[in-house]
Amino acid sequence: MVAPPDNDVLRAHGLHHTHGATVALADVSLDVREGEIFAVSGPRGSGKTTLLKCLSGQLVPTEGEIWFNGSPVHTLSSPSRERLRLDRFGWIDTEPHLVPELSAWENAALPLLLRGAGHRAAKYTAIEWLERLDVGMCARRRPGRLDQSQRQRVAIARALVTTPQVLFADEPTAPLHSADGTQVLRTLTTAARSHHITVVLATYDPKVAALADRTIALLDGRRSGAVPETAGASDEESRAACSLSV
Ligand SMILES: Nc1ncnc2c1ncn2[C@@H]1O[C@H](COP(=O)(O)OP(=O)(O)OP(=O)(O)O)[C@@H](O)[C@H]1O
């Protein structure tokens, strides 16, 4: 096993993973650099979710190595991987999965409260993030009174509220209308860039992948080529595209 270079926050080498008889990943290797927006593109069923789950410690690959900040993840025990996820990673799903009985700010504050933060400090930080994501005015509303784009922004605030080192986003804008999706995604990437959060983003949409600094493509669980660097939008472009107050 070889430790990764210093500027790689994540490195995967020779990943294989099977779900029962289905091969989801076959010999996938990649490096993710600190602070970049890294996209994993590919059609449905190509292995994107499985790859993100392996990289974030939710799944242990059948074969291969994963390194985070120069330390192996694939050899960690289940409680240690759980701890790593809580302390260092954020996760945004395709669907927001908010708690319906809680207001937007209470949903966004949940990770802080679970970590033992005081109620007042957690509320303050959660509302700050909701404002950055242009949903500050919805802070007291429950998810049932929010539209889909607002609910996804609350889920993004919940993922960012702990300022994770790496944010994993699994097709976070797939259910949104195209214009909404682009706006939400630009807001997400701008927030991540301004807080030096590394983003690993799975998407089947080439327009979404174009917002990234680097993109790899998967097909049937294998790397199928790479999009050249600098294909993504510049920091300034991302900043200009939304009213984020960071
Ligand atoms: N829990 C599971 N049990 C069995 N097969 C699975 C499971 N999860 C994924 N698969 C299969 O593994 C392969 C890769 O799935 P994965 O969800 O990682 O791909 P994906 O690119 O994220 O697709 P999608 O965009 O549809 O989520 C697919 O063939 C899928 O059917």
ipTM summary value = 0.95
- Ligand 1 centroid from CA 51, angstroms: 10
Band (235; pLDDT cuts 50, 70, 90): very low
CA-nearest residue, atom 14 of ligand 1: 47
Kindly tell me if the per-residue pLDDT of 103 is higher than 50: yes
| pTM of the model as a whole | 0.88
Tell me what pLDDT residue 173 has. Answer: 85
| Å from CA of 221 to ligand 1 middle | 9
Domains of the chain, start order: 39-57+78-240 (3.40.50.300)
Q: What is the share, in percent, of the chain residues with pLDDT greater than 90?
A: 69
Strand partners for 225 = 217
142: left (phi over 0), alpha (psi -120 to 50) or beta: beta
The first and second tokens of residue 192, run together, are 């991540």
Q: Indicate whether residue 136 lines ligand 1 (CB < 6 A).
A: no
Question: What would the pLDDT profile of 30-72 be if each residue is shown by its tens digit?
Answer: 999 999 999 999 999 999 999 999 999 999 999 999 999 999 9
Ligand 1 atom index nearest CA of 94: 27
- 224 phi and psi angles, rounded to 5 deg: -120, 15
The whole-number average pLDDT for the span 121-143 is 95
| Confidence at residue 236, expressed as pLDDT on a 0 to 100 scale | 44
Nearest CA residue ID for atom 25, ligand 1: 44
Determine what percent of the chain is predicted with pLDDT higher than 70.
88
Rounded Cα–Cα distance for residues 106 and 124 (Å) = 11
Average per-residue pLDDT for the chain: 87
The enclosing H or E element of 157 equals: helix 148-160
Q: Is the CB of 61 under 6 A from ligand 1?
A: no
How far from each other are the two terminal CA atoms of the chain, in whole angstroms? 40
Cα angle 28, 2, 34 (rounded to 5 degrees) comes to 70
Q: Which helix (DSSP H) or strand (DSSP E) does residue 31 occupy?
A: strand 22-33
**Beta carbon of 64 within 6 Å of any ligand 1 atom:** no
Q: Is the pLDDT score of 228 beyond 60? A: no
CA of 154 to the centre of ligand 1 (A): 26
Q: Does 131 have pLDDT greater than 60?
A: yes
Question: Is 45 a pocket residue for ligand 1 (Cβ < 6 Å)?
Answer: yes
Compute the C-alpha angle 182/97/130, nearest 5°.
55
Nearest ligand 1 atom, CA 42: 21
Mutate to test the pocket of ligand 1, among 15, 22, 218, 222 (most ligand atoms within 8 A of CB): 22
Q: What separation in Å is there between the alpha carbon of 79 and the centre of ligand 1? A: 25
* Residue pair 85/22 in contact by the 8 Å Cβ criterion: no
Rounded CA separation 132/191 (Å) = 8
87-99 confidence digits (pLDDT tens): 899 999 988 999 9
Supply the angle between the helices 178-194 and 148-160 in degrees, to the nearest 10.
Answer: 20
Per-residue pLDDT, averaged over 224-245, amounts to 45
**Ligand 1 contact, 187 CB (< 6 A):** no
Angle at 15 between CA 70 and CA 216, to 5 degrees: 85
Task: Give the C-alpha separation, 192 to 167, whole Å.
Answer: 8
With bands split at pLDDT 50, 70 and 90, how would you rate the model's confidence at 77? Answer: very high
Per-residue confidence (pLDDT) for residue 219, from 0 to 100: 94
Out of 14-18, 66-70, 218-222, 232-236, least confident range: 232-236
- Non-local CB neighbours of 202 within 8 Å, separated by 6+ positions: 39, 40, 41, 48, 49, 51, 52, 169, 170, 171
